[in-house]
Amino acid sequence: MARRVTKYTYVGKQPKDLPEDIRRAAKKALDTVAPVMDREFTVQIQSKEWGWPKETKRKNGSTAGVIRDIVDLGDLLRSQTDSRIKEFTHRFVWDVQYSSVVHNGANLKQGGNYPGRPWTQTAERVVNPQKRLSDIMRRELDG
């Protein structure tokens, strides 16, 4: 009886294929995570968790307590934009004059201060974009 040999050859990803696969996976990951970050920034601006030293009357006529959202007339919220500025870079901008003061806080010349309400840092903690990006890329590259 003739000898029969069973052969199995697996040819995996070749080094020449990896750069394009990585590019595709990174693009998909960023395209997936950027809108999640955009939504979470909005959620954080609207969330009633930001401390303020006293109750105040807002420009919109409402009274805001010591724990409040960051929305008064909504200009900061409406100014939020997200744009792709490079193939793998998204930029989020809040284009109102006072956005930096609201986010970072400020010390006034007269001695008072505005506490910072860093909604971007809170959104980053909630979303954890680095982990999400890594997970999506891993899934894409694993096939």
Supply the pLDDT for residue 33.
97
Supply the pLDDT for residue 14.
77
Q: What is the CA angle 30-42-131, rounded to 5?
A: 35
Residuewise pLDDT in 10s, the chain (143 residues):
678 887 787 877 778 888 899 999 999 999 999 999 999 999 999 999 998 888 989 999 999 999 999 999 999 999 999 999 998 999 999 999 999 999 999 998 888 888 999 999 999 999 999 999 999 999 999 87
Supply the pLDDT for residue 16.
85
C-alpha span between 107 and 115 (Å, rounded): 9
Supply the pLDDT for residue 17.
80
Name the residue ranges covered by the structural domains of the chain: 15-142
Tokens encoding 25: 């996976």
Tokens encoding 32: 């997936």
Supply the pLDDT for residue 28.
95
- Kindly report the pTM of this predicted structure: 0.84
Tokens encoding 38: 């955009």
C-alpha span between 116 and 105 (Å, rounded): 4
Supply the pLDDT for residue 107.
92
Supply the pLDDT for residue 18.
84
* The residue count for the chain: 143
